[in-house]
Copies of this chain bind each other. A is one copy, B any other.
Amino acid sequence: MKETLTIVLSGEAGQGLQTIEEFLVQSIKSDYHVFSNKEVMSRVRGGNNTVEIVISDKQVYAYRNDIDVLFLLNNDSFDRLKKRVHEKTVIIGESSFLSEDNKKKYEMIELNLTELSKTAGNKLYANTILFGYIARMISLETSICEQIIRSNFKKLKEEIIEANIQAFSLGYNHYKKTAMIKEIAKNSMADDYKMIDGTTALSIGALAGGCNFVASYPMSPSTGVLIYLSKKAKEFNVLVEQAEDEIAALNMVIGAWYTGARGLATTSGGGFALMGEALSLSGITETPCVIHIAQRPGPATGLPTRTEQGDLNLALYAGHGEFPRIILAPGKLEDACLLGQKAFYLADKYQVPVIILTDQYFLESMGEMKKMFFEEKYLKQFIEKTDSGYLRYKLSDHPVSIRGVPGFGDGFVKVDSDEHGENGLLTEDFDIRVQMNDKRLAKEKLILDDYQEANLIGSSEYDNLIIGWGSTYGVLEEYVRESKDSTSFLYIKQVYPLSSKLLPYLRKAKKIICVENNATGQFANLLHWYLDVKADIRILKYNGEPFSIEEINLRLKEATK
């Protein structure tokens, strides 16, 4: 059994929670396994945001509801967190941040950062003091922590760096050991692992997939990918352009693929809801494209900074008319890399739109990921030099025609959003219409040659089979690894098209339990009509939070009994 310590830092937007999170994660990883996640309000300043740091002696991937140690960094955050606090929770912060009533109910350790930072000389040092305090609390190596401060502040003046190191010591020395906070056996992650968040993993995956063009319009929580790729643009030769709107973004991406680039549009559900027509354009012109949908709770503006898996249906059916598409849903950090890479390969190979579905929780959580070497194979270009008689939509036994690009070869690349003949010119011939429609739709089967297989986690003998896709991976994998009942977990990475390879897993189960972060069970519905398999139970959550391990324990226990 795992031992974990869940530390939550609660403050307001603008207090720099994200910086402490990074410092802590970077330092903790040398001594423990660690997983972090955050929840923030849709505002730039004020409100109440939290960062959760889970420390363990084994790998951890799941959001925890129950808080062991709660740092209150401002006044009005406690009420919102009440449900996550229990008898044994230790609350640390300025005395005034907790009401007298609550002080009677909970253990509180006073930590007056305002005063301490005055001592340190500047209120800006509060975060470093806190870092020192926590470092002592969980027995981190001070030399490593100092190194982290130095490297993160390397652009600052030496005296400021020194002052921060002093502030760190101040916090470190201020902490008094107490038995109230449990100790976790040290056990750091292996050398071939690294800490990374979903946004970075996916962005690097895209680079590995040859992504060299990005057109997007900012939208939380998808903007991180845009920002990461902007930062790497020059080094990796990626043309990044902020589009005037999402419609322009996807049309630009399609134009880029037409010209031989590998383009990406990153957006969220609301932005994608504007891209349907362009998706359909990719469909009929057989011009590939890759779209990243970072899900957040809808409808409409909904909860802009929260998490949900509510846009699977939209990804499945967006665009008018009928055409094939591929939908990938990484839930594990490695898969964000791998599928981020493979998306571009699949788009190029099959000349179809490929959608990568993630969500706020997945993108903004940091966890450990096994290092890897990307395969060259996925960089293979499927573009060919054209001959003078080149026909863009040549019909043959194989539904994928040779794709040329303008400027390379002796043929013309003629592409039409109207129904067209082999030469790309528009036609109204009934028979050609049917041939072209059949050609396009035939790819749906072909795509399954490259089906990204699901992972069965847990024993291959089971009564209950949990089905999850995307970001529920972490919590479900933790559940299954720890649970003793006859329950395994089928982690689906490619949600569309689904392969009949899944059927043996599904048929074996006595009870199929679909776990989804939405209100209606969109994947369960897909499973029903597409593979003719009915989920017996749907475990759904749609308040804007991810599933916590505690909730999953409770609800799966109920479901499997």
Contact = CB atoms under 8 A, between A and B. Distances in A.
A272 interface: yes
Contacts of A300: 277, 280-281, 283-285, 320-321, 417-418
A119 to B, nearest CB: 35
A509 interface: no
Interface residues of A, number: 66
A276 to B, nearest CB: 4
Contacts of A273: 276-277, 279-280, 318-320
Contacts of A320: 268-270, 272-273, 298-300, 310-311, 314
Interface stretch (A230-238, A340-348, A430-438, A487-495): A430-438
Contact of A519 (B302, B441, B532): B441
Interface stretch (A189-197, A221-229, A538-546, A552-560): A538-546
Interface string A403-420: 000000000000011110
A542 B434 contact: yes
A388 interface: no
Nearest to A281: B300
A352 to B, nearest CB: 11
A285 B438 CA distance: 40
A512 to B, nearest CB: 14
A87 interface: no
A518 B321 CA distance: 9
Contacts of A310: 320-322
A529 B434 CA distance: 28
A17 interface: no
A421 interface: no
Interface in A296-341: 297-304, 306, 308, 310-311, 313-314, 316-323
Interface in A420-453: 428, 430-431, 433-434, 437-438, 440-441
A303 B269 CA distance: 29
A45 interface: no
A534 interface: yes
Nearest to A48: B428
A532 B534 contact: yes
A41 interface: yes
A277 B518 CA distance: 18
Contact of A284 (B280, B302, B316): B302
Nearest to A320: B269
Contacts of A440: 299
A247 interface: yes
A520 interface: yes
Nearest to A543: B430
Interface in A55-75: none
A525 interface: yes
B542 A437 contact: yes
A304 B298 CA distance: 33
A114 interface: no
B306 A321 contact: no
A298 B314 contact: no
A206 to B, nearest CB: 22
A268 B276 CA distance: 13
A525 B519 contact: no
Interface string A158-176: 0000000000000000000
A272 B314 CA distance: 14
B519 A437 contact: yes
B323 A319 contact: no
Contacts of A285: 300
B272 A299 contact: no
Q: 8 tightest A-B contacts by CB?
A: A298-B321, A269-B320, A299-B321, A273-B276, A300-B417, A317-B317, A273-B277, A284-B299
15 contacts: A247-B274, A269-B320, A273-B276, A273-B320, A276-B276, A280-B298, A297-B419, A298-B323, A301-B416, A304-B418, A306-B428, A314-B317, A419-B544, A525-B529, A526-B529
Given A276-B276, A302-B418, A528-B529, 6 more contacts: A298-B322, A299-B321, A302-B417, A310-B320, A310-B322, A317-B317
